Structure 1
């Protein structure tokens, strides 16, 4: 249950792009619990349908691939009108620079930068003036690490895109969310996940790793605050300064 008062979302429509992630599902659930009509999307329709079933409350599912402008255009036509758009999608290209593949690098930029621009292109015209876009970056943009050059760069690009889109789309608001280390399922493949989480807990100011609900709370705040735009909220437990 979100600790943020989501009453401003009651009766509003929220489109969650990339809802198949742990954070995406948490955002969709929090918005639905707050009374919003939620549409969840994924580039895999079966994933979107599974999330819609988990969230319930009349949540619907659609196919949307940020690398395919036609699919974005199609969703814009199908939703007809929308109040808020949250894109959690990511496509990672991690590893030493010497091993990176150009296709993977391009995919990372499509998910984080090009795709959100195309979302704005096609969905802003069907959004209310009180609407908003919420984009996701990440703490690595300000604390780069070996093997994460592309992630750091795409996240930094999102941080730059947020105020630029806010100016371009005004009065539609644009807000960034920059998570820290969150136990969302994305780290489950690490051999040393427990040791990594222990290190994060010992070194960041919050003395804990995040959970998806922490990020969903921040998203609800961003969606519901009409005076918040052109900025990125750092929901990282202070990881960027640890």
Structure 2
């Protein structure tokens, strides 16, 4: 199994990469920053490699496709946030958010679909904000929601290549560490409110991703891995 993993150099992406490698697969990490990619590849070992790819730049996607060649799966965890009240939003930031979650994945499908091997798939990351909109998160909710519809549309258009989406909830992936001591309180409040009574771990999301990559009878589906958080 050869997997192109976009924005997979840390956190959840690193967990997915490790699971793929443990299964005897090969991982190609992709992103905008060569230094981060190289550091991750060094940690992951000889079955990992990297390529520079910017989802906001179609020429870089096309060049990466030419460099990488055939793959079994393409996974994109990319996100570029434009949070804040609608009245304060910057148009450039909003476009960047759509580049990461919607336009970029469409261009990935354009350039990589001809390279996906039989039984392969695309997996795009959505997020719980689409199902629990909140003030200041309108762009995040919209882009994540668009991912779910994009997976359905591309599953039909690209068939028999499969296309799915994965929607994580609150996960202790390192993304919340900047909250400092407030992180523990936030996690405790999240855990007490959701049906699973805990926050997620990168291993939870990685296990779900591997399932979507390997189950050849699942396509056009958004898998919610959020501890039921979207329900409350």
| Counterparts of 2:155 and 2:59, CA distance in 1 | 24
Name the CA distance, whole Å, in 2 between partners of 1:228 and 1:112: 21
Contact 2:127-2:166 at 8 Å conserved across structures: yes
Question: For 1:203, which of 187, 193, 196 is the aligned residue?
Answer: 193
Query: Which one of 2, 10, 13 corresponds to residue 24 of structure 1?
Result: 13
Q: How many Å separate the matches in 1 of 2:75 and 2:21?
A: 13
Residue by residue, what CA displacement relative to the aligned partner does 1:93-128 show, whole Å, maximum 9, x if unpaired? 111112111111000000000000000000000111
Q: Equivalent residue of 2:222, what SS? A: strand
Match of 1:171 among 160, 168, 178: 160
Determine the structure 2 residue equivalent to 1:118.
107
Q: Please report how far the alpha carbon of residue 79 of structure 1 lies from its aligned counterpart in structure 2 after TM superposition.
A: 1.1
Give, in angstroms, the shift of residue 26 of structure 1: 1.1
Aligned length: 231
Matches of 1:154 and 1:212 in 2, distance apart? 22
| TM-aligned CA deviation for residue 21 of structure 1 | 3.7
C-alpha contact (below 8 Å) 1:42/1:64 kept by paired residues: yes
Alignment of 1:11-50 (within 5 A): 12-50=1-39
Residues 3 and 75, structure 2, Cα contact 8 Å, conserved in 1: yes
How far residue 177 of structure 1 moved from its aligned partner, in angstroms, is 0.2
Which of 170, 183, 193 is equivalent to 2:183?
193
Match of 1:5 in 2: none
> Distance in 2 between the 1:56 and 1:43 partners?
20
Rounded Cα–Cα distance in structure 2 between residues aligned with 1:116 and 1:21 = 20
Matching residue of 1:228: 218
Q: What TM-score do you get using the length of structure 1 for normalisation? A: 0.93
Distance, in Å, in 2 between the alignment partners of 1:106 and 1:29 is 32
1:56 aligns with: 45
2:137 paired with 1:143: no
Aligned residue for 1:86? 75
SS in structure 1 at match of 2:66: helix
Matched, 1:67 2:49: no
1:212 corresponds to 2:202: yes
Query: How far apart are 1:165 and its partner, in Å?
Result: 0.5
The runs of 5 or more residues in structure 1 that have no matched partner are 1-11
Task: Return the TM-score normalized by structure 2.
Answer: 0.97
* Contact 2:65–2:111 (8 Å) recurs in 1: yes
